[in-house]
Amino acid sequence: MADDGAMDETSKEVHQHIDELVAREHALRAAQVGKGLDPEEQRELKHIEAQLDQAWDLLRQRNALAEQHENPDAATERPVGEVEGYLN
């Protein structure tokens, strides 16, 4: 773990995964505007939204652990129901 605030490799991978999910989410939302989404695309969008919630939660956990000078690898992916519940 670097003390200079640099992102560790695993956090970079999580962030890259988030970027990929966001790109796909944007593509689906753009398609939704023109023609709407078929049921499969709607399921995919819901799945992407859930994956994004989990990925952002994991990244926040990793950052919090690193700020406390603890091992960010101790962060764990939490169930969708748990991370989505934070918004309610």
Residue 88 has pLDDT above 50, yes or no: no
The tally of domains found in the chain comes to: 1
Alpha carbon of residue 18 to chain centroid: 5
12 pLDDT tier (thresholds 50, 70, 90) = very high
Q: What integer best gives the mean pLDDT of the chain?
A: 89
Residue 2 lies in a domain: no
Residue 4 lies in a domain: no
Residue 1 lies in a domain: no
Q: Which domain holds residue 67?
A: 9-87
Question: Who contacts 32 (Cβ-Cβ below 8 Å, separation ≥6)?
Answer: 41, 45
Q: What is the per-residue pLDDT for 4? A: 47
The proportion of the chain whose per-residue pLDDT surpasses 70, expressed as a percent, equals 89
Contact 11, 72 (CB under 8 A): yes
Q: What is the pLDDT of residues 21-62, one digit of tens each?
A: 999 999 999 988 878 899 999 999 999 999 999 999 999 999
